[in-house]
Amino acid sequence: MTRYHALLRSACATAVALVLGHTAHAQSTPFTYQDMLMLDRISDLSVDPAGDYALFTVRATDMEKNKGVRSLWLKHVSVPTEPEVRLPISDGGFADARFGPDGKAIYFLSARGEGGTMQVWRTDHDGRTAEQLTRLPLDVGAYRVTPDGKGLVVALAVFPECKGDEIACTVKRNAERAKDKSTGTVYTKVFVRHWDTWADGTRNHLFYLALNGADAPSLPVALTDGYDGDCPPKPFGGAEDFSISNDSKTVYFAAREAGTTEPWSTNFDIYSVPITGGTPTNLTTANKAWDAAPRMSPDGKTLAYKAMKRPGFEADRFELQLHDLTTGTVTPLATAWDRSVDDYAWSADGKSIYAIAGDLGRTRLFRIDVKSSTVTPLSKDGHMDAFVETPKGFVFLKSGLTSPSQLFAAKPKATMIDEGATNLTAVNANLKNKEFGAYEQFNFKGWNEETVHGFVIKPVGYVEGKKYPVAFIIHGGPQGSFGDMWTFRWNAETYAGAGYAVVMIDFHGSTGYGQAFTDAISTHWGDRPLEDLQKGWAYALKTYPYLDGDRAAALGASYGGFMVNWIASQWKAPWKCLVSHDGVFDARGMGYTTEEMWFDEWDQGGSPYTEPEKYDTFNPALHAKDWSVPMLIIHSDLDYRIPVEQGIAAFTALQAKGIDSRLLRFPDENHWVLKPQNSRMWHSTVFEWLDGHIGKGGK
């Protein structure tokens, strides 16, 4: 029996006992990081066209084997009382599972076949047998099924210079490389490395494969032959970066032409190409900024996509654009709505677009009327992770500060789909016996007398009249947010469960408060956000008497790590200890060694080789002489965004000054710590550090 089966059986048994009136109330215990690490994680929602069945992935943790174990589950949405079913095809490994256009077949990626390459497979609702649909000599990185069900569009990593014969030529070159005993690589342009991977010269290209009567694929047709760019984009792109027209005749995709300027360019464009092959047509040449996520309207007349306005800025507002496919006219949608679209989908009737966007510390679902641009909120709080409109209502994944993502069905005609929604699964049913810290949102006047928001969380076991040590957690990005959301890396409730109060400030630069608020941090990393943090801390201490200002620690990662390194000299008085994860120590060094140059050069206001003085304005390395607060440094070897030398340099400075300090290094992690046992060590080291310097529990 799997651990999830055991949970499901336990949940069912509990439900029966409740009905019979014989169950005893379980004793609640604090939610801890050990609990968090072992939680199951729901993702990858797909719902059949009729709205009867939901398909989703559950990722369990095998701590002994130090890996996540994924399984595919099917839930009969129309019969909520019927337990979800684990599909047997899970045992062979899978990824990116989704319903086909007829709702009967389930498509997925798997490397279970001969040769061990990732290919497209198909199964039915029973999920007992799997049929291999592609037998390509290269891994399929992403795919889509054509709306008519007669073909596939797949993404393969090929050498673009192999134009005319990309697949066979790439296979040959890979074989030649494997035989070569030398290990050197000659690069002629950047990126030489990106995120956590060194460049190998390949590009993600799209191919079309027709399925014949026997469901065997035809020879692949190149759709981006010789294109010097990636679709899906690296490192995090997927099937959301391309789509297929309703008549299955045209493919739309988002990509950036690389050339020699790729690390400086955010000029992604939307292209169209016949599914039978040909030269792609650039539909967004006029916009030199980011265009993404093309999706056709139900009537096939309009192509929607997301677009930014400012070239070189990755945190600009994503605004929806409507491209009339007959006239070529492009019309922006809801221009007065000062929010950036994360994800979106057309409504079934084509009269509206549903959009997910950050909004004042929450991530909500909105309806945008296509004709009037009227924006109406459809969810209230928490973090909307995914949604599908069905003929029977919305099915969605939602998380929040006190809950990981869960699967819900909205009540019919509900004004807010998350109010009174039905939880459809028993995943993580044991959380009902866990106690979380009570939280509330607050606001205050920050930089420029503008309103700034934050969250405060009481420690579990809070007793009126006592004071508690505080974890002051600073988010990264810097264009990000710490609000009513769940995370498996910086989970605020694990600090509350360990006996700490938590304060989080969405300083200037945070997302979800309007684009001007987000813009305010660029070239101001060390002053405006610092002022917000200082004023927010003062407000919290004054407003919440249970916060012990004499027992406080500041923690942060990425930009948050930079800010910890910065306040170590600029605002060290409140803090008994600090934690800096993957933080920038030397701004000049960061400017030369990071991979996505557009980010640093936009936020610093210039390049490190033409205007180095701008990198010194808020450079922690220049003020390390003033450090004195104990600090834990955490960094990883595969972090190419903020290279490990930044962490080593900070630790060297601490050690040279004789400051109480530690360095936790992971040789096999990137900007994030993902392996279960590494995550456990991360948390145990951080909490041991906090316990030793500020203690825990109330006084």
pLDDT exceeds 90 at position 18: no
Is position 232 within any domain?
no
Residue 125 lies in a domain: no
Backbone phi, then psi, for 628, in 5-degree steps? -155, -15
> What is the full DSSP assignment across 249-318?
-EEEEEE---TTTGGG----EEEEEETT----EES-TT--S-EEEEEE-TTSSEEEEEE-SSTT-TTS--
Residue 215's pLDDT is: 60
Residue-number span of the structural domain to which 371 is assigned: 333-426
Residue 266 domain flag: no
pLDDT > 90? residue 552: yes
Tens-place pLDDT, residues 640-655:
999 999 999 999 999 9
pLDDT at 15 over 70: no
540 and 560 in a common domain: yes
Cβ contact 635:663 at 8 Å: yes
Say whether both 640 and 493 belong to one domain: yes
Secondary structure in 3-state letters for 175-186 = HHHHHCCCCCCC
- The answer for residues whose C-beta is within 8 angstroms of residue 649's C-beta and 6 or more apart is 585, 586, 589, 621
The CA-based angle 197-200-202, given to 5 degrees, is: 115
Q: Which of 399, 558, 636, 679 is catalytic?
A: 558
**Catalytic member of 508, 671, 683, 693:** 671
Q: Which of 409, 426, 443 is the last residue of a domain?
A: 426
How far is residue 516's CA from residue 339's CA, in Å, rounded to a whole number?
Answer: 10
646 plus 527 within the same structural domain: yes
Q: What is the pTM of this model?
A: 0.94
The whole-number average pLDDT for the span 83-102 is 97
Across the range 255-280, mean pLDDT stands at 97
Q: What is the mean pLDDT of residues 67-89?
A: 96
Out of 90, 639, 679, 693, pick the active-site residue: 639
Please report the pLDDT score of residue 514 as a whole number.
98
For residue 19, being part of any structural domain is answered with no
pLDDT in tens, 324-337: 999 999 999 999 99
Three state DSSP letters for 526-542: CCHHHHHHHHHHHHHHH
Same domain for 648 and 499?
Answer: yes
Contacts of 104 (CB under 8 A, 6+ apart): 124, 125
- Is residue 546 scored above 80 in pLDDT? yes
| 617 lies in some domain | yes
In this prediction, residue 213 carries a pLDDT of 61
φ, ψ of residue 599 in degrees (nearest 5):
-65, -55
Question: Could you give the C-alpha distances from 194 to 179, 234, 478, 589, in angstroms and in order?
Answer: 25, 8, 19, 17
Residue 583: give its domain's CATH number.
3.40.50.1820
71 catalytic, yes or no? no
Give the end of a domain, one of 426, 444, 474: 426
- Bridge partners (DSSP) of residue 106 are 99, 123
Domain count, the chain: 2
Reported as a single tens digit per residue, the pLDDT across 182-191 is 999 999 999 9
Secondary structure (3-state) at 623: helix
Confirm whether 460 is domain-assigned.
yes
Question: Does an H or E element contain 588, and which?
Answer: helix 587-593
User: For residue 338, what are the CA distances in angstroms to 357, 515, 516?
Assistant: 10, 7, 9
The whole-chain average pLDDT of the chain stands at 95
Query: Same domain for 378 and 515?
Result: no
Please state the rounded mean pLDDT for residues 668-681.
98
Whether residue 587 is found in the same domain as residue 624? yes
Task: Name the β-bridge partners of 383.
Answer: 363, 399
Token pair, residue 113, equals: 């076949």
Concerning whether 626 is annotated as a catalytic residue, the answer is no
Backbone dihedral region of 111: left (phi > 0), alpha (psi from -120 to 50 degrees) or beta? Answer: alpha
For residue 4, is pLDDT > 50? no
- Asked about 639 being catalytic, the answer comes back as yes
- Is residue 564 within 8 A of residue 623, CB to CB? The reply is no
- Cα–Cα dist 99/308, whole Å: 31
- For residue 212, the model assigns a pLDDT of 76
476 and 413 housed in the same domain: no
Q: Is it the case that residue 13 has pLDDT exceeding 80?
A: no
On the question of pLDDT at 5 being above 70, the answer is no
Return the closest-CA partner of residue 55 out of 32, 81, 85, 28. Answer: 85
Domain boundary among 426, 452, 478: 426
- Is it the case that residue 33 has pLDDT exceeding 90? yes
635, pLDDT greater than 90:
yes
Output the pLDDT for position 27.
79
Same domain, 502 and 636: yes
The phi and psi torsions of 394 (rounded to 5 degrees) equal: -80, 140
Domain check: are 443 and 390 in the same one?
A: no
Average pLDDT value for residue range 68-80: 95
The pLDDT value given to residue 10: 38
Per-position DSSP letters for 135-197, written without gaps between them:
--SS-EEEEEE-TTSSEEEEEEEE-GGGTTSHHHHHHHHHHHHHH--------SSS-SEETTE
When pLDDT is cut at 50, 70 and 90, the band that residue 412 belongs to is confident
Mean pLDDT of 336-360: 98
Say if 163 falls within a structural domain: no
| 533 and 590, same domain (yes or no) | yes
Per-residue pLDDT band at 20 (split at 50, 70, 90): very low
Residue 299 lies in a domain: no
**Do 611 and 479 fall into the same domain?**
yes
Q: How confident is the model at residue 565 (pLDDT cuts 50, 70, 90)?
A: very high
Determine what percent of the chain is predicted with pLDDT higher than 70: 96
Whether 473 and 537 map to the same domain: the answer is yes
pLDDT in tens, 466-500: 999 999 999 999 999 999 999 999 999 999 999 99
Q: State the pLDDT at residue 3.
A: 38
